[in-house]
Amino acid sequence: MKVLALLLFIPALIPNAIKAQRCLDYSVLALMGNLEVPGASDNSFAACRTRMNDRGQTEIVDYGVYLAKLDTLINQKMREYTLTVQSSMGGMGLMPSPQTAADGQALAEKLKNMTPEQQKAWAMDQANQRMQSNHGPSIQDDPATANLVMKTNDIGVNQLAAVDREFAAQIQEVINAKYGALHKVPGPDESGCPQSGKTGMHSCACVNGVDGKYWQEMVAIEDQYDAQKIAILRTYLAKIKALVGQVDYNIGKLNYGAGIKTKDLQKALFAAQQSAFGTAFDITSTVIHAIHQEGANLFLNEQNSNKMVYNLSCVK
């Protein structure tokens, strides 16, 4: 779940030789309006694009226009961040080398395995090293500007990360409970279905009826735990939006970093926006995708059973 946020955070850790990036000129909070809370499994299935195969079974082609648009939005904004970083590197006559990419990946793994306290200590150590290596005054901006940038960075990086960890932990509890409940459901027992004619096969009405009851129970469990996921999603969307709104407001007040002179402060503000976007769309989009896809898949099996085409090892 954390890949998106980590990838977005890496550019802010590239060495000081690279030109600082100005924040992207948009509101992350406004983009969060594209995050729609999903419904029950039948609604997820209804949003899918489907087709009929040559055996009369319905198949899911894709999970609908909404998820496709959400993925396009996320990929587009990730690409904009990447292009901004690459543009500033190109402006310095630099391009990321394979070694730089490998170092960035290793750093991401290192940070992922740290506690929040260790991450903070590491960041402070890096900042101290960079200030000691700089020539001339390290801060060229007035104290009010510097304080607002660091406050914004703390919200965008540290406070949002803490909320995201809580969100992930609560969702994982529900996921574990759901799969535990699904695994407890006995598989369909078709042995009681009568054999039909000379083939010795069971009748399609019987075996698909047995299968249908099984999938109906599976869908009911999915919807039960999805309702819990949705409640958690609503709660943490509100918390994330509140913090993202503060980041957006401060970045706008600082003119997206355009007037900031200190390179490290520019980078800190850019990192705040990157991290805010990553947190806004990381676990939230993962949960939305999972609810849509897992619910639709189970409901599809129930539907095919009801149409007596889920189980084809039978005779009509």
Per-run averaged pLDDT (10 residues), the chain, 316 residues: 46 44 92 96 97 96 97 92 69 48 57 59 56 55 90 95 96 97 95 78 92 97 98 97 98 93 89 93 96 97 96 87
Instruction: Check: CB of residue 96 under 8 Å from CB of residue 86.
Output: yes
* Long-range contact set of residues 121-126: C-beta below 8 Å, sequence gap at least 24: 126/13
Domain ranges (residues) in the chain: 3-306
Q: How far apart are CA 77 and CA 75, in angstroms?
A: 6
DSSP three-state, residue 315: strand
Q: What is the pLDDT of residue 169?
A: 97
User: Any residues with CB less than 8 A from the CB of 117 and at least 6 apart, and which?
Assistant: none
Q: Are 237 and 29 in contact (CB under 8 A)?
A: no
To the nearest 10 degrees (0 to 180), the angle between helices 283-306 and 263-281 is: 20
User: Which single residue is written with the structure tokens 């009568």?
Assistant: 194
Residue 141 has a pLDDT of: 78
**Sequence-ordered list of residues with C-beta below 8 angstroms from that of 208, at least 6 positions apart, any chain:** 305, 306, 307, 308, 309, 310, 311, 314
Supply the pLDDT for residue 94.
43
For residues 271 and 157, is the Cβ–Cβ distance under 8 A? yes
Q: What is the DSSP letter of 203?
A: B
With H, G, I as helix, E, B as strand and everything else as coil, classify residue 50. strand
